[in-house]
Chains A and B, each alone.
Chain A
């Protein structure tokens, strides 16, 4: 097991180096002189030169790449061109709201979607099934910001039950924290509930026709254990895969949601950084998300081995 984890981690090193290379060369994909772009229209030549030097643009590419990589490996992601603060500090400040939003969205989506999909499969072709599938289509097709504005209008503005906007850190109390995240995570969940419920249904329908389900029934087991133990465990591999993909996709969704609900998270940080061409911040965030993505995939591979004894590591 440990052996497997170590091997998997080592095998991600080339991927991460490639990602780092890509992230680092972002600055070269931008048209024009990066230093001039960053400095803006009114900047003087001296100011542009200062930025060029601070970014190290005067040195050869690979020399700078390895220098930068060395810094990154020591936890130094550089300094924001705009605020002059270390990128790690900036990200650190913004990490809690985004992580909280993502965790809450995933927990909410999975707890709603998996039972829905299981029930839809068990009652295939009935009105329950059709209701769940209709719900899934709506979840898919209505954009996050629309759901977000509707929810916020109904629950925050009309009913006054939840805060309209903003984020309350966990340190300031669990209830305010939960309340501030509820609407954003519900809004963000729509797509994932739809996605996970659909795949759960499809996978369960396939499993429910298998011989071992008939065996389980022949033992006298009830619907509950048959669906949630015998069937769901077999159906879980595609479900876990989709949840994993969902978490990766959440990153994009978080940006929109953080904007709608004015949550000071990574999504907002990166949007602002892009608008200001604050390359060190963009690089830092992309690198962080890539690392997150790799780790999520590792976790998913580990979960596979726990769920299915036939998967070897």
Chain B
């Protein structure tokens, strides 16, 4: 069953120096209980896409267009009041920054229980009991003790587990995890991803996993969309994408994944920047293909006409003029 359908999403920010076209035509679908990965370099608009779905962007500066259909309703047309009933309840979100995303002056139990009391009307005592269960669910040892602790008493990995517990408290239909492991140590990264996969099996929640690391996508995602400069450039089933990448950008990303077993040192810069060249400025409209400037296959057509996302085979779409002309050769 289709849970989420994003069509031609566009998110522009007004700023003193003109519009920032952070998201420029993103489309994807997500089925109930499935996992979709959104992959792309820093600044490609992944976080803005997820914040647009949650309706968390500042309405004074951000403009959305297109449609985000969730459970049959277009989220972009809902009032703030209606969105509040969805946030934290039907859609949970885990953020990129575990160290700063929890409130430093409220106890862990309070921060988990709050969602339960708000959306499910639980009593203080019931919310506490349930919060302890949730801490246990996300593998936090001694949950009866941890529940009364404050974020500064927890490690980064534990904080991210608490964030996951908060996001999953109301058993949402959709969990958006925006680079949930980027700020964590490699070993902790693997644990958190395992946990998410495990919880998905148990709760049947759909997941949007945002990452700039195609390496983590393979074992967890059913489908992948690749974003570049605010656009969807390729969408496919995970195995299909790995086996037959069509967009030169996707190929570039895949080429930068280290071989299995060669673990990455913490603090090493993002590998994706190894594709030569720079992301184009989002402040000016881009004519032609956004990737043309960095693409070694680009031809004149690429610079004059923007490619549209086209279905090339069953469940595999790509936005590239040269995609079926044997670019991979």
Contact = CB atoms under 8 A, between A and B. Distances in A.
Do A and B interact with each other, yes or no? yes
B75 interface: no
B144 interface: no
Contact of A220 (B101, B104, B106, B119): B119
Interface residues of B, number: 29
A252 B300 CA distance: 79
Interface string A212-247: 101111111110000001100110000000000000
A215 B101 contact: yes
A212 B152 contact: no
A219 B105 contact: no
A220 B170 CA distance: 11
A150 interface: no
A216 B103 contact: yes
Interface in B48-106: 54, 56, 83-89, 92-93, 95, 97, 100-106
A212 B89 contact: no
Q: How large is the interface on A (under 10, 10 to 19, 20 to 34, 35 or more residues)?
A: 20 to 34
B150 A310 contact: yes
Contact of A212 (B86, B101, B118): B101
Given A211-B100, A214-B95, A310-B150, A220 B105 contact: no
B115 A230 contact: no
Contacts of B210: none
Contact of A218 (B88, B104, B119): B88
A14 interface: no
Main secondary structure of the interface of A (DSSP, over half): helix
A214 B95 CA distance: 9
A215 B152 contact: no
A222 B82 CA distance: 11
Given A220-B115, A221-B114, A310-B150, A215 B87 contact: no
A309 interface: yes
Contacts of A219: 87-88, 114-115, 118, 166
A307 interface: yes
A215 B103 contact: yes
Given A211-B97, A214-B95, A309-B152, A220 B103 contact: no
Contacts, number: 71
A309 B105 contact: yes
Contact of B86 (A216, A220, A230, A233): A220
A210 interface: yes
B106 A230 contact: yes
Interface string A163-206: 00000000000000000000000000000000000000000000
B163 interface: yes
A217 B56 contact: yes
A234 B105 contact: yes
Interface in A135-152: none
Contact of A234 (B56, B86, B103, B152): B103
A25 B257 CA distance: 78
A220 B118 contact: yes
A309 B84 CA distance: 29
A222 B79 CA distance: 13
Contacts of B114: 219, 221
Contacts of B150: 309-310
B104 A215 contact: no
B88 A234 contact: no
A47 interface: no
A309 B152 CA distance: 9
Contacts of B105: 233-234, 307-310
Interface of A: 210-212, 214-222, 229-230, 233-234, 307-310
Given A308-B104, A310-B105, 16 more contacts: A211-B95, A212-B103, A212-B104, A215-B166, A217-B56, A218-B56, A218-B95, A219-B88, A219-B118, A222-B84, A230-B103, A233-B106, A307-B105, A309-B104, A310-B150, A310-B152
Interface of B: 54, 56, 83-89, 92-93, 95, 97, 100-107, 114-115, 118-119, 150, 152, 163, 166
